[in-house]
Structure 1
Amino acid sequence: MYVAQKQPKPPPGGACVHRTGQESPGRCGYGLVTMESLLKSVMVMLFAFIIPLENGVRSSPCAEIQVGATVVVLGSSVNASCLLREGCPLTEGRSFRVEWHLNGQVLAALPPANQSSRVFGVYVPSFSETMGYLTCCVRQETECQIVAGMEIRAGYPPSAPQNLTCLTNLTKPYTLTCKWEPGLETHLPTNYILHTERNSKTRTRPRVYQLPAGENVCTILRADFPLFSKMRISVTAQNALGLALSEPLFLDPMEAAKFDPPVIVDVQAEPYRYGCVKLWWKLSEQQMWVLNNLAVEVRFRMWESEAWTVEMKRIDMAGLGEALEQCGMQHGTEYQFQMRVRYGQGPWSEWGDSRTRSTLERAPNDKLNVWLKVLRAESETHISVQVFWKPSKNFRANGKNVSYHVFLLGLPDRGRQQIVCRTRELHCEATLPKGTKRVYITALNSAGESSRIAVPVYQLRVPPGLEPVSDINVCPVGNRSLQVTWTPPVSPVVTEYVAEWRPLLQTDPHFLSFQLLDRNETSILISAGIEPYRPYWISVYARSKDDISLPCTVQGYSLQKAPSAAPNLRVGDIHHTRAKLAWDEVPLEQRNGMIQSYALFYWDEGGRTQVVWVKPAERRVTLTKLSPMSMYKAFIMASTEGGSVNGTIVTFRTGTADAWSDMLTVVPASVGLVLLFILTTLACFTTLACFTKHERLKMRFWPMIPDPANSSIKTWTEADTLPDFPAFQNIKDIQDPTPVHLSWFSLLDVLEGRQEKSGDGVPTTDDTWLQGGDLVESLTGSTDLPGNCEQEPLRDMVPYATVVFASPYRGQARSPSPIYLRSDSTQPLLGEESPSPKPYQNFRFQEGGRERPQSDGGSSVFWEEFPLLSVLNVNDAHGEA
């Protein structure tokens, strides 16, 4: 195997070590005299790395370890053996076994070749660690004693260095610096060797420079390289697993030199040569000895511009001290100049310091694009106008201090022009006499004045035959551009369009921009000065030869997002079932887009949430159907195309219902009920009238009920009052269409000649029919009628009646009042009387009927208790009841 040898330590500071030809050519191949011998040495080193010459040995008094190689390729297999020495106290006369450990992990040991062998082997199929410590251990019972160990490293052979470049520094001290890319990671210490070789007339002189491990930059001093002859440079990468050579680099160190930036001494504008300047320059003091094969680049730009114009010039020995001429610049414009230099095809130096100079001024030339619009009439004799202009593509100001004049030409008999506006801005506002047809504008600088431009003055009106544009629309293009389109009018007199725009938050004319468009153009892309989240006001005018139409205006955003703030919600009038809420419009600078809608969220104490959507033009809402005396919370959300923002939550409480509110509620309800009752009554009468015309329906819904007031009892004769009542069906005079047979109804005639009771209370013979109360008892079922209200049989009885006449009612001129007697019956009456009727007393009948029976409660109680029998009250001849 290969036995690692100690390398000489490099000098401190990381500089490469130079070895000359007088040194011994032995170690690591350094110091070889010829390139051929160097290559032979490299081959010997490669063979030494790949083919191991002897095993590495790590031993101890008890054992020694032998391995195939202490440095292996990562992932390859490893074989090792542990030889136990004779006389080792750990194994002599004891029972033991040998274990292998790799970084603390137990490995499976190979069995010895025979029982007497003291060599124990191990096989690692894949060594996956970049560094490992392999140990041999003798185990006795529970203890394991390490008897030998060895460190093994794993990695990869080096890859060939790439992108070898060298750069010459001509600033003292002169040096040649080379650098390269190391390639893939090897996980092993890798050294680099720089080889240089230059050809002279007599011999080839190689040089070898050793670098510290890991360094990939080497700097060579001026004594070891020529300036004006070719060199061959290469790099060798080397580690314990092998070496690799880079592609050789052939270069002239002078053409690899990077010069210092040149110095611009002065810049002067050339007299009578507009747009031309001269530059005086020089090299740095340490490089002024270079006299030929130089190239310089001059770049220039207008002041505060970002675009440079670059021109390259070749410099020979004769032109080294002369000034450089630079032309093609605008007149009267301040420029910034810089220079850099290189030798041959070498690298450019850095750009030198800047110098500024203005070119000669000249009168402005070419035309301006002008846009004039009438604002209003100041008086009966003057109008107010705004004039905007900007340079056309070919316009040249040809000077720094340019001003603009807007004027009127006087009449031939009035002489000179009348200045209405003089400014350095690109706009002005002026007052013109009414009837002015055109104004003129010129640009001036210190060198002269441009030709005048006539601008017609058009009144904003609806001229005949010239309609405004329609269907104007704006769409964002990216985040900083707007695409505006419109539908042109059908009028053939349109010659051009004028599009103007400005930020909606800015009213200063300085922020207004415009562009003139051909009649065939129906769209414009606006990108100058457009910012996201800002509103822009855009108008388009149609122009003819003699008129201009009214504008068509639209508002647009290049990019929208949620408003920066939500509107403040205010609580207005609150009633018991409704509440009014209002809010202010979101300020324009906080909208960040077009407000699409407002959404009002509100909820009660129970958490029941409702939403009301409001159009962006409306800023108030009335919440209805609220619960009286309830707490509510609400907030408003404002939305744009880019997002939404929620406002703060407000709290309000509904009130109680007042009298006026009750009246407003009750009166309409009452009126409605009255109308409903009237309609229902009319419907009932209509139905009743319909039913009365149909006897069958009438009898089914309203059956015939006998009416005592209309009864035929009044037509009965004395013969009809025979004791064999109540056979009413045998009486032929009764004409009741639907006779009703009473369960018990009697007519009694009181004898006219009856006597009154004797003084001792004994009744006479004339009223023997009343003796002992037999008659009353037979009628009432009890002799003790008054006060007998608690007897159970009477509770279910219905009082019927017997009418007693003092004399036959047909035979008396003066009819006595009928006597009413109570009767008890279990048959229900037609009218539902009280189930517990009041007790009644017997009456005394006076002779001739003059004395009427009196009850305890008075005569009024008599007819009130029996309203249906009140019609039987027969009037006497004198009209008494």
Structure 2
Amino acid sequence: MATMCQTWSIFTVVLLLAVQLCVGGKSCTIWSSVGTLVQRETSFKVYCSFYCKCKGSMYSGHPPALQSHMELNPTTILFNVVNITKNRTYSCHCDCSPGLDPCGLDISTGYPPDSPKNISCIYKVKENKSGDVFCSWNRGRTTYLENTSFLRMRIRNHTHTLRIPSKGTDSPAGSFPVPTSVQFISVWVRVENALGSAQSSIINYTLSDIETPPTPDLVQPECSSRACTVKVKQQSVRTEHLEIQYTAGGQTWTMYSKQAANLSPVQNITSLEPYTLYHFRARVRFSSGLWSEWSASISNWTQEDTPNKLDVWYAETASDFTSLRVYWKKANMPTSRGTIKGYELEMYNPSSGSTFVSNISVDVRNYSVTFCAECEVKVWARNSKGLSPPAKITVSHTKAEPPQDVRATQGNHSVTISWRKPETAPPPVACVVEWYPEGRKLEKLRWVRLSGSDSHAVITDMKAFECYEGAVHVFYGGNSASSSRFTGVTTQESAPAAFPVFEHTVEGNIVTVTWTELDRGQRMGCITKYTIYLESDNGHTQRHSVPASHRVFIFKDLPPALYNLWMTASTAKGEGPIGVKIRFLIQQSQLSLLLVCGVIFIILLLVCLCQCTAVKQRFQCLMLDVVPDPANSKWAKECTQEKGKMNLQVQLSNSSVTKEEEELILVEVEELPKQIGDTSTPDNVSSQYPSQSALSPETTPATLLYPLTTYIKSLSHDSDSSDHTQTSLDTNTTVDYISSHGPENMGEEDQDEDEDEDEEFAEVLGFFPSHNMFTDQLHFGGKLTLDAVKIDCSGFQNI
């Protein structure tokens, strides 16, 4: 029983395997309506039929992408392919149990072949008895399929066929051996692939028209400084024509000769440049037929020769034109004619007969000399063959009319300098246009030498975003010349990339701003102007444009304030970035401060003087609001006791007064006659000063000579040395006590102090009104022997 069960299990497994094998192990079958090879840009259908009931799907491409299919029946789906343009792969999927593999289909696409066109055949003669006919053609568009071409050639009523398989873009070609005795052939081509076939038209050839000799072989040429000898090796066939071409430095090929080869196999090519690498090639031809292919090129250098004359120019290195720097261009191949070993410079002074010679190394391009008006400078180049002709410089030209309307026109990476010859000037013999970066003439001078008939020069070696300047020099006959300058030339330009670095100095209300040029890499062209901005603390901004040649700007008479200062640079393309703002302060003028301080000081001085006790004591009589009555004064009472004499008693102000000062000093007083404006003639001094209370309106003078006030007048005289009588009179003045010190009681120091105080008080009194109470003098009778008269007005307070 167990053996039967095992046998049944094995049978079941074998049956399932057989079923899978019968259905191919796939879950479906896939096919197209046109097969697996389809012409491009056509439409067709792809079908899938599944072996089990499931929901099928179709995919296409790499990686597979789900397609929108249609259900034809429960087990079959289809997909419409429209305008297929490349090879595609399609697959169908279904979930079956047991699981089976999906099915797939590869579709190849392509085109049927076009008819071959442009069949071209040549007869390559190998030797005098045989050769090969080599044919090529244009097969048309690419078919993307494997093609088979059949080259067919009819020779003497016999057709020969050559099968040539090709695929992709390979150029089809083929050849047949043909004896030289054949004169005519017929050629055509047939092409086939899986989608179709096509055939060309028949082309007939005469072999003499398409025969070509073998490519010649050249021997290494031998060269001198001006010529090279080219030799052709012996060929297997005889040719009648030879053509040689040569070139130097990658230039176009130049044909040298086309002549019968049997004259000589050696050709001498002349008119070559010294010390130049030349390349040569050759080809041959029969008396009829086609030229052979070009031979491989061979090369050789021509030998050196003495250099040509240098291109020399100069620049002045001093304003007085006593120093020159001579420049020369690096010699190119046509000029150097070999390897330049160095240069020689000679300066000859005909007035003194002296000659200066200098040998200059090969890497130097300029040399400075001390120039005189009649001196002549010559420059030579030297190589292994000798010296070049001298290039002369003569600077002492007669001034002529300069060229007119010198203009610079910017182009694409170039600048054209143009000018116009003056109408009255003779035809020039030569012109030189020089240019250099702005401010760098001695380091970067460039020039071009032109003929006298030229009126413009195209300059191509100017750097972008660099500002250039230069001049046009025109030379006439008779050693006369003239020039016109040009500035502000650039090939490309933009706004500056930076701002100027500047400094400022403040002196009172004057501010001086100085700055330096921008770095050349930051100018981005030609600087046209600088702009200085000055902003005050109230927000008002001044803007000042300064020409590009200036480096200093001065602000004058700036009012006191706090300011901001900054700068920018500009080109023709715009203004650069704003610079760093610098703050500074304009202070009040010290002179104005001194005047203000002086006025304040005087006012404070007057206030202090008014508060000072000594001043109060001396000027209190001037400052009293009420005038005391002089009739009640002690002085008036004592004066009545003795006529003509006065007892002047010193008013003790402190305990330091000496005993001698306490003694009375008698002073003779002179009685004065009645003054103008007095109402009566007094008999004594006291009667001239009536009491203010005793006056009545009837007795008051109509017009007082001075206003009613108090005053003080100090007199200091030497009674021994002067007999002059001191007189003081004021009809409106009240006098109190007179303190007198004799000469014997007053020292020199006291006198000096009194004089200083009097001068100080006199200066102070200068500030009082011009109606001065001291205009008239005081008059006293007799001799006043006091060194000083001091009136103390403090007693009026006790009256």
Q: Which TM-score applies when normalising by structure 1?
A: 0.46
